[in-house]
Structure formats: C-alpha cells, structure tokens
C-alpha cells in the first residue's frame, strides 16, 4: 500500500510538506497523489475521532440497528441501501453476511429520538421486514483509536 | 551510623544522574508533552508475548543453564550470521544476560584490571563511565564532534591510546546523537586497533535501527576484529522488549567463558520467561523489526524537518530513535534550555550534557512517539523560541 495512505490514515492533520519529508517525495508529488486518491474516491473524506463522552453536556446517543429486508427484484440491496443512507441521522450503512442484511449506525440526541426515527422512518420502508435496535452505552475504541487512553506509562527516568 | 564512611568509595563518588531533577518536575506536571523517553512506543509483538504466556501456562518456570537456553544461544548465533555475516559458536561464544546493560557490566568487569584505561566516546549512553569506574578503571572520554557527524575518528582514537588502554567502548548506532559508523569508518578504527592488545566492547543495541541505506555493520565483521571484540546486543530496542530485560554478549570463547562465570555468581541466569519469548522473536520477528523501523524512519524525517524549520541546527541522525539538535544559537546552556522549556511550555527533552560534558549545547529528543505527539511538541517549542526572541 502507498505509504501516503497509511500516514493519512494515522494522522490526517499532517501537511503535504510534512508528508513529503516523511516519504522522501517532493511536496508537489504528494499533492498530486492525494488529489488523485480523492478524485478516484479512494480517499473519501477526513474525519476527526471525538470522544463525545468527555464533553459535559453531550446529547449524542448512538444505536446500531440490524435491518432485515426483502431485496427488490431489479435493484437488489443497492436501492434499499441508498434509501437508508439518505437519512441525516444515519452515520453508516453496511451490508452484512449472517442473520440480518444491513447494519445501520444511527445517532440522535436522545434514546427516544432514535426510537422514533426507527419507528417512523426506517421500519415503514417498503422492503424492511424487521429491525432490532441496540444502543451503544460506551465507546472504548473507534477507528483504531483508544478513546480512554491510559497515558504514556514509559518511565521518563530511563535514558 | 556514619554511612558515608561505610559505603564503597567509588559507588559514593559516582555523581547521580544529572537529569533526575527534570524528570521529577516533569512527573508532577499535568499536561507534559515528553520527547524524553529512551524506549520504543510499540508493544512487544503479540506472537512474542503469546509464547511467553504459553511458557508460563505450561509451568516452564525454572532456571535455565547459566549461559541461557541452548535453543536461544543457537538462535542468537543464527541471527548474527543471517543479519551481520558473523559466525559465532552457540556452545562457547554467547552468554544471555539481563538486558544489554548486564552484558556491558560483565564485559567490563571481566576485561578490566584496576588502573586500566577505558576509552568512552561521548556523547553516549550514561552507564559506561560508572560501570568502568566501579571496576576500578580510569575512564578516558573521547569527544565526538558535530563536524565528524559524531563518529569516532581514527585520529582522535589514536591520540587517546596509551600503554594502559585496555578497552574501547564503541556505542554505535549512538544514543543520544543518532550517529552511525559505516563500514568505511570502522575500517579506519580497525587499522588503529589491529596489532594492539586493546579490546572493543561494541554496544550494538540499536543495530536494527539504521536508516538511509546500508544495514548496520558490526566492527567484529571487519578483518582481524572479531578476536578483539565483545559484541553486546539485546531485545529491548529492536523488538520493543525493554521490560523483559534480556540481552546478550558474543565474543571470543575465553572472554565469554569468564563473563559467564561472573554472570553465574552474580545473576545465575537471565529470566526464563523472557528467554522463551526471545526465541520466538528471533525465529519469527524479522517482519516486526521492519515495520517498526519504517515507522521510526518516517518520524525521524518529520522531526528533523521540524527542528530545521524552527531554525535549530540539526545533524541528520542515521540510527537509533533520537535526534541531537544544537541549541547553541539560543545562548542558553542545555540545562537552562531544557529547564525553561519544561517550565514554560511543559515539553520535556533531555539536556545533551547528561551524556558527557561534550554534549553541552545540544539536546536529546526522542522520536519514539506518534506524529501527532511530535507535532504538538514542535508547536510548543516553536512558541517557546518565539517568546524567548530566538
């Protein structure tokens, strides 16, 4: 894999000049590569991992919804996925193997808001045959980042 | 009790670590960004930890032979042959120790008689001087200079040799400067030493962490040098196994045999759980080393660029995981610089003077940290320099 992708995956805040120094490329080369990846949809966006629980007044609740659907005759799962991801409340949609079809991650301000969203928007969709909603109580690790980090335990007095 | 009169003179006279004070202050601060630590930020590879756990579960918790498990001695020799084209006999030429540190201590105690002179290139790791002094040696520091890229040169070496010179410490890749000695540089050193009775203690603990091309070359691999060299290495830096405390020495059988005798009486044997883990590291850990080295290399380039952008002169290190920028342009001593940086911006780095008097005017900065951590530290150092009008 291109080291630029690995570097950005670990820390998207690095500048092109810094990435150029790290990889031994020129700044222009780095810029061009990144533009290419963006254009091709290989880099789809840049996101910050925030531990919302650390903010005192968080009103952010997240739930994972297991969706069972009946695939449509012509468009299969694709059209249903498009319909589901159209909702602002939906953070992610994945087609799953196993006991259900879609895993949908939904955020809202309260448990009730999510429950209403599922009942009024998601469940009534034509192809949806059932939903199971599970709420996330605490996140420990997200996108490879440990949220409640232990800090650096390395002894500072060892030279 | 008047303990001062009871205590061993030499032990008493060894000055305490000059940087203790900084670390005590840093430990009290809440939001310290440290670039001071001399150990990897990676975890020991899982397959290595797993083998250690399995050995415990199976109850393999007894002693090993004094010199270490035969399987481990064999793997160490295989590794040196594979990586550095050096052939040692696993039955006679290797002893497994409690970290590289014990191997250094053993080698010095085994080779040095009271009054012998031990040559220590500086800046360098802090242990050589005290260990040699405890063995009754006279320590002769050899200054390595920025203009020589902190390498030991044949000329300086020659000027320090006397009739009483017993041992040269060769600490490359170097902590704290990041300097390396390439084959051509070692050839020059070998020319000076061949035909003398001077032994070399090659501390190669950072041998897997060299950048910009050629892998590490051991001085023992240079013509005529194997018979006069004790190589010290270990698992701490290359496999991120600092806490396992496991190292080893390789050398001529007559030296290793006496080192093993001292080791037997002082230590008995190195921790056996660690030895089981080390066998796995040597057998299946080559890929882990490459992964970590590539990561260090990217951080190295990032941090060198960062310091140069800040206007501090920074020699490009080609080994270990430290950079050694000059802070002479600030007009501060390295202790002043580190003290003020810590108090004002809560960034901890180590004064170069901790690694020998000639380290004055420099600071040691470790890049065994994430890129985000490094950049935050650079940002604060930049602010600090601005506020100090530098």
Domain ranges of chain B: 3-44+288-384, 60-285
Side-chain-side CA neighbours of B250 within 13 Å: the count stands at 29
A-chain CB neighbours of B371 within 8 Å are 7, 10-11, 14, 18, 22
**Substitution target from B291, B295, B302 for chain A, most A beta carbons within 10 A:** B302
Are residues B69 and B280 in contact, defined by beta-carbon separation less than 8 angstroms? no
A159–B354 CB contact, under 8 Å = yes
> What does pTM read for this prediction?
0.89
A19-68 pLDDT per residue, tens: 999 999 999 999 999 999 999 999 999 988 888 888 877 788 999 999 99
The two tokens of residue B316 are 């490009």
Provide the edge-to-edge strand list for the sheet that holds A102-108: A90-95, A102-108, A61-69, A128-135
The CA distance from A123 to A5, in Å, is: 38
The CA distance from B343 to B360, in Å, is: 20
> DSSP E strands: which ranges in B235-309?
247-250
Handedness of CA A121, A124, A127, A129 (dihedral sign): positive
Are residues B156 and B188 in contact, defined by beta-carbon separation less than 8 angstroms? no
Considering only CB atoms, A7 lies closest to which of B39, B41, B298, namely B298
User: Cα B299–B284–B298 angle (5° rounding)?
Assistant: 10
Considering only CB atoms, B39 lies closest to which of A3, A7, A158, namely A158
Question: What number of other Cβ atoms are within 10 A of residue B153's Cβ?
Answer: 17
> Within B135-252, where are the H helices?
154-160, 183-193
- CATH number, domain B3-44+288-384, options 3.40.50.2020, 3.90.105.10, 3.90.1150.10, 3.40.50.300: 3.90.1150.10
B155-190 pLDDT per residue, tens: 999 999 999 999 999 999 999 999 999 999 999 999
Report the chain A residue with the minimal C-alpha distance to residue B365.
A159
B244-301 pLDDT per residue, tens: 999 999 999 999 999 999 999 999 999 999 999 999 999 999 999 999 999 999 999 9
Are residues B273 and B50 in contact, defined by beta-carbon separation less than 8 angstroms? no
Distance of CA B276 to the CA centre of its chain: 23
A157–B305 CB contact, under 8 Å = no
Side-chain-side CA neighbours of B76 within 13 Å: the count stands at 32
Report the chain B residue with the minimal C-alpha distance to residue A153.
B41
B-chain CB neighbours of A158 within 8 Å are 37-39, 242
- B36 to chain A, any CB pair closer than 8 A? The answer is yes
Chain A nearest C-alpha distance from B240 (Å)? 12
The CA distance from B303 to B284, in Å, is: 31
B27–A159 CB contact, under 8 Å = no
The CA distance from A40 to B387, in Å, is: 45
Backbone angles phi, psi at B363, to 5 degrees: -130, 150
Which domains, ranges and CATH numbers included, belong to chain A? Answer: 3-39 (no CATH), 52-139 (3.30.70.920)
A-chain CB neighbours of B242 within 8 Å are 158
Q: List chain B pLDDT tens, one digit each, 390 residues.
A: 999 899 999 999 998 876 677 778 888 888 889 999 888 999 999 999 999 999 999 999 999 999 999 999 999 999 999 999 999 999 999 999 999 999 999 999 999 999 999 999 999 999 999 999 999 999 999 999 999 999 999 999 999 999 999 999 999 999 999 999 999 999 999 999 998 999 999 999 999 999 998 899 999 999 999 999 999 999 999 999 999 999 999 999 999 999 999 999 999 999 999 999 999 999 999 999 999 999 999 999 999 999 999 999 999 999 999 999 999 999 999 999 999 999 999 999 999 999 999 999 999 999 999 999 999 999 999 999 999 987
Considering only CB atoms, A158 lies closest to which of B38, B354, B371, namely B38
- A3 to chain B, any CB pair closer than 8 A? The answer is yes
**Coil vs helix vs strand at A41:** coil
Report the chain B residue with the minimal C-alpha distance to residue A10.
B371
Q: Which residues of chain B from 306 to 335 reach within 8 Å of chain A, CB to CB?
A: none
B-chain CB neighbours of A14 within 8 Å are 302, 371, 375
Report the chain A residue with the minimal C-alpha distance to residue B243.
A154
- A13 to chain B, any CB pair closer than 8 A? The answer is yes
Considering only CB atoms, A11 lies closest to which of B304, B355, B371, namely B371
Chain A nearest C-alpha distance from B301 (Å)? 5
- CATH number, domain B60-285, options 3.40.640.10, 3.30.470.20, 3.30.560.10, 2.40.50.140: 3.40.640.10
- B34 to chain A, any CB pair closer than 8 A? The answer is yes
B-chain CB neighbours of A13 within 8 Å are 372, 375
User: Cα B273–B243–A159 angle (5° rounding)?
Assistant: 150
Report the chain A residue with the minimal C-alpha distance to residue B176.
A159
pLDDT at A156 over 60: no
């Amino acid at each position: 894999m291109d080291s630029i992708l690995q570097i950005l995956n670990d820390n998207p805040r690095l500048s092109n000049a810094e990435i150029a120094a790290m990889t031994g490329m020129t700044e222009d080369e780095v810029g061009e590569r990144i533009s290419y990846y963006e254009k091709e949809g290989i880099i789809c966006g840049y996101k910050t991992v925030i531990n919302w629980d650390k903010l005192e007044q968080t009103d952010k609740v997240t739930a994972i919804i297991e969706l069972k659907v009946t695939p449509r005759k012509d468009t299969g799962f694709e059209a249903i996925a498009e319909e589901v991801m159209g909702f602002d409340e939906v953070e992610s949609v994945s087609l799953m193997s196993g006991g259900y079809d879609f895993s949908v991650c939904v955020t809202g301000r309260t448990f009730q808001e999510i429950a209403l969203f599922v009942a009024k928007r998601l469940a009534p969709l034509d192809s949806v045959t059932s939903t199971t909603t599970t709420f996330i109580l605490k996140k420990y690790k997200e996108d490879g980042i440990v949220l409640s980090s232990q800090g650096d335990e390395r002894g500072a007095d060892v030279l | 009790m008047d303990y001062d009169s009871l205590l061993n003179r030499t032990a008493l006279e060894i000055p305490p670590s000059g940087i203790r004070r900084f670390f005590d202050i840093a430990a009290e601060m809440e939001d310290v960004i440290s670039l001071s630590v001399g150990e990897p930020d990676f975890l020991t590879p899982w397959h290595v930890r797993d083998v250690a756990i399995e050995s415990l579960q199976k109850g393999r918790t007894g002693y090993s032979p004094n010199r270490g498990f035969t399987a481990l001695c064999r793997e160490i020799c295989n590794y040196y042959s594979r990586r550095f084209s050096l052939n040692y006999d696993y039955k006679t030429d290797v002893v497994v120790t409690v970290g590289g540190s014990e191997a250094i201590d053993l080698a010095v105690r085994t080779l040095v008689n009271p009054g012998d002179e031990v040559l220590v290139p500086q800046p360098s790791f802090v242990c050589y001087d005290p260990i040699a002094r405890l063995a009754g040696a006279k320590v002769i520091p050899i200054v390595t200079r920025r203009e020589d890229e902190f390498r030991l040169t044949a000329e300086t070496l020659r000027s320090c040799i006397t009739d009483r010179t017993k041992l040269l410490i060769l600490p490359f890749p170097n902590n704290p400067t990041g300097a390396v000695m390439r084959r051509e540089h070692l050839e020059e050193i070998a020319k000076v030493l061949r035909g003398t009775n001077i032994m070399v203690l090659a501390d190669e603990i950072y041998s897997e962490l060299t950048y910009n091309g050629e892998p590490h070359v051991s001085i023992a691999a240079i013509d005529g040098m194997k018979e006069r060299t004790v190589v010290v290495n270990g698992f701490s830096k290359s496999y991120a196994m600092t806490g396992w405390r496991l190292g080893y020495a390789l050398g001529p059988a007559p030296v290793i045999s006496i080192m093993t005798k001292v080791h037997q009486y002082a230590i008995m044997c190195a921790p056996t759980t660690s030895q089981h883990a080390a066998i796995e590291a040597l057998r299946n850990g080559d890929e882990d080393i490459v992964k970590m080295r590539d990561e260090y290399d990217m951080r190295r380039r990032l941090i060198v660029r960062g310091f140069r952008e800040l206007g501090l002169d920074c020699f490009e290190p080609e080994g270990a995981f430290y950079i050694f920028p000059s802070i002479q342009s600030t007009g501060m001593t390295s202790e002043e610089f580190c003290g003020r940086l810590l108090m004002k911006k809560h960034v901890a780095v180590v004064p170069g003077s901790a690694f020998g008097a000639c380290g004055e005017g420099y600071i040691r900065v470790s890049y065994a940290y994430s890129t985000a951590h490094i950049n935050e530290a650079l940002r604060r150092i930049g602010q600090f320099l601005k506020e100090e009008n530098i």
